[in-house]
Chain A
């Protein structure tokens, strides 16, 4: 192994040097990646004693391997000293001033002059500054990646710093094999060079795919969308040439879409936004494919629903990016309030993104999905009860339910349970479960708010339930002696109470977390209708309103056995239909959260918190860096659970247990 290869990675103080032609390929003939040089490596040849020695030969250099290794991920400066003669300096300075004001090849001249000074240096020391990440960033990024979220790092930092940070937060696993998409600033034709680099990276990605899947494909767009392996770094200078060219942009997007980690460095605020726009456009293009017309519109529409882009940043230069993405999250930091002022959500630490997405995001999706479906459901049910009646009254528009009762249906009788549901309900009792199992975030398996589920639960089910709540009362009313309730107002009361029971049972059945508050309001929402029926006509009479739709209707309806039998059978039928369907779902195609709920229940029976039971040491560490402490289990309970009682010395640790 060449000695130099072990020096790759880390921060360099002179990035333009790192952008030179690749010193050595990777054996596959692919010209990337090129090595990153550490500051000490750059400085080493300038040291007085190291003139003719190999860079990293550990036996000769004070900048030896262990030191270099320990500098990985730090911002390093190597300090050297050299004593200059005063006349020499005066002469040099004059030439320097001349070069600094030169119009031709100023950089080259300055570099050459710098070289004259920076040689034969005495090594003074090395400083290393850790550019400290916030707490829990690696754990947070790992959690997000596990959740199926693609994470990109876009920064204004230098490439080496950026890659370093990406390594330390686990976005990039192997800095040695990262694909560098960096065009030399001195290149005459940077666009062609960028194209060449892109092609090389794509070729390498294709080969990796062929190796991993055993299937050889000609172009990258034939690779499955979900397959990602390589990691890539691109810098702002290169992006300058790529983003202005459509062909290059689409190549970059295609390539980046198949990279598991992407680092964009030295990017300007507008480039940050440009990258977000580019990837949004790419995703749209991918799903529409060759579709045209209505199918193209539908594909774009579905994509808009299924995937969102989130930007998170803390600085003023992130503002454009935060505003371009679907969701912008600003971190309140030391860099001012520009980011938070322009964001949708503001948090104080990067790691809080995890609960924001995994807990609040999950819950929000679940609750809004149910809220929407249920709101449609209860209104369509009500409307269809009225609609069915039109077939029997010559489509004259006669309402089955009087207007006051219709108004209170939505406002009083059915609003509170679903609002409480949308505030309190959750599929798992312990919200930490979402962070422990980040995969629960992935909604591709869970059809909670798809078009199909909306039409099924929100509409079709409403039509069926409305039919039950209308036709059973309609055909059940019969002259029954003194309590004959065959008039249109009595039928309305029957259908209304049946309907009310049905929609309240529906919200009770879909609820996955019954709090006392919720239970009380579900019960109240239904049972309040009886006092309402009894008292409302009295109020009307008290106000001298003689309303044939209410006065006297309730007392006759409530006294009729037909009413009670109709209510019972309507609610048994609609509840039974839904209950059977939900149970079948639960038994035969359980959602992940259903299995989790069963698991929780079982743990509760054993008197434990189930996370405590299931968490591994690795997860405990991850959760702990995210600020979630899960208490260790008591040792004796562990022992009691895992092994039959066996004689052990008192106080001796169980041999099978890790140290506490």
Chain B
């Protein structure tokens, strides 16, 4: 009934206000029940033993898998005509070549069978894509919504917002760049053509590189919009790399490039080869060399690698597991030797004679298990 409800409501809430909950009382009175963990050496030994087993059980498969990854790396920036030039001349050569680039060739000798998919990765040494100013030079609204999003005029992309650094009527849209920022501006523009032949055999087989699905699906679907590039690396004198001609979220190479590498030496996925490579094959890499790493003494390499269940070739993780597993066993063993065998010192469990103010007692005097009937002492002390 509504009337009785409204009658009982005030009295009920008043009673509730007065009565503290059981939990609240226990909390403020420091009476919450709890468990005091005891760090006994025995538990630690068992723990470290188990950790050792666990680490080795994981580490060995990880390491084996990583060791079984077949990876070949060929540095190509000094290949061909670039070999004997100093860095100024190397740059001159690149600039002179224009859009075509300088065609150089390197060969990769495959000594172990590689099963598909074989990943083609390019590596730029000393690239420092993780430099703060470089990472910051990125405007997500610009790349998702197009130039309209840039109306505020303030952009993280500065000074890579306009082709000439300021609005300029000589260019469409006042020369506003899409995608803006230094990451985009420095887009990698070397291209590769691969072919494989048997050692001693003459007939070379074309190795098509599949670049269809190398960027993150999330970048394609959420981060970047289907907007077309504008004023992007269109002026040869001002450009840092290639242009983008498809809608942004369909240019896989651009999307890969836009994720700045964590390490100074940037490794970027270029594509996939969907056919196996037998041992004793030679892969010829034709590189249209356009990207200028000569100005900062960088290095460019091409990597062919297979993949394992833990990823590419990296013995570090597996080794860490094995080392930590070994150290855990070492810890268990040294605790056992020093404590349980009593080589260093073994103390009685809960031995009150070890209390700092009981220094006059002999160790073991206050052992818990030895109790006398004498109730006069603070704790029953009986010589063992």
- A complexed with B: yes
Residue numbers of A with Cβ under 8 A of B are 392-394, 396-399, 424, 426, 428-429, 431, 437, 439, 442, 445-446, 472, 474-484, 486-491, 511-518, 541, 545-548, 551-553, 555-556, 560-562, 565-566, 568-569, 572-573, 576, 579-580, 582-584, 586-588, 590, 592, 594-595, 597-603, 614, 616-619, 641-643, 656-658
Given contacts A478-B314, A479-B267, A489-B259, contact A617 B375 (CB under 8 A): yes
Residues of B within 8 A of A658 (CB): 375
A657 CB, min distance to chain B CBs, angstroms: 8
Given contacts A393-B131, A517-B32, A552-B222, 14 further A-B contacts (CB under 8 A): A431-B30, A472-B317, A476-B316, A480-B310, A483-B311, A487-B261, A552-B218, A561-B311, A565-B321, A572-B328, A579-B44, A583-B39, A592-B357, A614-B380
B376 & A548 in contact (Cβ 8 Å cutoff): no
Contact A486 B263 (CB under 8 A): yes
CB distance from B33 to the nearest CB of A (A): 7
Residues of B within 8 A of A572 (CB): 51, 54-55, 324, 328
State the CA gap A590–B378 with chains docked (Å).
Answer: 20
**Complex-state Cα separation, A278 to B91, whole angstroms:** 82
A587 touches B138 (CB 8 A): no
Give the Cβ gap from B379 to chain A, nearest Cβ, in Å: 5
Do B140 and A546 touch (CB < 8 A)? yes
A579–B45 Cα distance when bound, in Å, is: 11
Task: Say yes or no: B55 contacts A424, CB within 8 Å.
Answer: no
Pick the contact of B261: A399, A488, A569, A576 (CB < 8 A). Answer: A488
Per the bound structure, the CA–CA distance linking A619 and B376 in Å amounts to 9
**When the two chains form the complex, which single residue of B38, B258, B307 contacts A597, counting CB atoms closer than 8 Å?**
B38
Q: In whole angstroms, how far apart are the Cα atoms of A483 and B54 in the complex?
A: 25
The answer to whether A614 touches B312 (Cβ under 8 A) is no
Question: Given known contacts A513-B34, A579-B47, is B317 in contact with A602 (CB within 8 Å)?
Answer: no
A213–B32 CA distance with the chains assembled, in angstroms: 49
Question: Is B58 an interface position by the 8 A CB rule?
Answer: yes
Contact A486 B261 (CB under 8 A): yes
Q: Does B279 lie at the interface of the complex (its beta carbon under 8 Å from any beta carbon of A)?
A: no
Question: Which B residues are CB-close (under 8 A) to A480?
Answer: 307, 310-312
- A444: min CB distance to chain B, Å: 8
| Measured CA separation A393–B376 after assembly (Å) | 70
If A583-B41, A595-B350 touch, does A569 touch B218 (CB 8 Å cutoff)?
no
Could you say which residues of chain B place their CB within 8 Å of the CB of A562? 310-311, 317
B356 at the interface (CB under 8 A from A): yes
> What is the bound-complex CA distance between A107 and B63, given in angstroms?
102
Contact A656 B135 (CB under 8 A): no
Q: How far is the CA of A587 from the CA of B338 in the complex (A)?
A: 10
Once bound together, how far apart are the Cα atoms of A344 and B108, in whole Å? 80
Q: Is B213 interfacial (CB 8 A cutoff)?
A: yes
Contacts A478-B311, A583-B335: A393 and B132 contacting too (C-beta < 8 A)? yes
Q: List 12 A-B contacts (CB under 8 A).
A: A474-B263, A479-B311, A547-B140, A548-B138, A548-B140, A569-B320, A580-B48, A583-B39, A598-B368, A602-B349, A618-B376, A656-B373
Q: With an 8 A cutoff between CB atoms, is B195 at the interface?
A: no
A486/B267 in contact, CB under 8 A: yes
| B residues near A565, Cβ cutoff 8 Å | 58, 62, 310, 317, 321
Q: Is B377 an interface residue when CB atoms closer than 8 A count as contact?
A: yes
Q: Measured between alpha carbons, how far is A580 from B47 in the docked complex, in Å?
A: 10
Q: How far is the CA of A489 from the CA of B259 in the complex (A)?
A: 8
Contact segment of B76-84, B286-294, B339-347: B339-347
Output the least CB separation between A354 and chain B (Å).
16
Cβ of B378 and Cβ of A619 under 8 Å apart? yes
Q: Which of B130, B331, B345 is in CB contact (< 8 Å) with A393? A: B130
Given the complex, which residues of A lie within 8 Å of B35, measured CB to CB?
Answer: 513-514
Closest A residue to B335 by CB, please name it.
A583
A516–B33 alpha-carbon span in the complex (Å) = 8
B128: A residues at CB distance < 8 A: 393-394, 396
- Among A428, A482, A590, point to the contact of B354 (Cβ < 8 A): A590
Contact (Cβ within 8 A) A477 B33:
no
Near A by CB (< 8 A), chain B positions 351-384 give 351-352, 354-357, 368, 371, 373, 375-380
A88 to B267, CA, bound (A): 122
User: Is A582's CB under 8 angstroms from B132's CB?
Assistant: no
The smallest beta-carbon distance between A541 and chain B, in angstroms, is 6
Residues 275-334 of B at the A interface (beta carbon under 8 Å) = 305, 307, 309-314, 316-317, 320-321, 324, 327-328, 331
Max chain A C-beta neighbours (<10 A), residue from B27, B131, B216, B351: B216
Interchain CB contact under 8 A, B371 and A474: no
Give every chain A residue within 8 A of B368 (Cβ-Cβ).
598-599, 602-603
A586 and B39 contact, CB distance less than 8 A: yes
Q: Which of B41, B214, B320, B371 contacts A472 (CB 8 A)?
A: B320
Closest residue of B by beta carbon distance from A363: B30
> Is B119 in contact with A479, judged by CB distance below 8 angstroms?
yes
A546 touches B48 (CB 8 A): no
A588, A595, A601: most-surrounded residue (chain B CB, <10 A): A595
Q: How far is the CA of A475 from the CA of B378 in the complex (A)?
A: 58
Considering only CB atoms, which chain B residue lies closest to A445 in the complex?
B356
Tell me, rounded to whole Å, the shortest Cβ–Cβ distance linking A367 to chain B: 11
Q: How far is the CA of A513 from the CA of B31 in the complex (A)?
A: 12
In the bound complex, do residue A566 and residue B317 qualify as a contact, i.e. CB atoms below 8 Å apart?
yes
The reply to whether A595 and B351 contact each other, CB–CB distance below 8 Å, is yes
B1-58 contacts to A, CB under 8 A, are 27, 30, 32-41, 43-44, 47-48, 51, 54-55, 58
Query: How long is the Cα–Cα vector from A490 to B311 in the complex, in angstroms?
Result: 15
Best-buried of A394, A474, A594, A603 by chain B (most CB within 10 Å): A394
Tell me which of A511, A552, A562, A616 has the highest count of chain B C-beta atoms within 10 A of its own C-beta.
A552
B93 CB–A CB distance under 8 Å: no
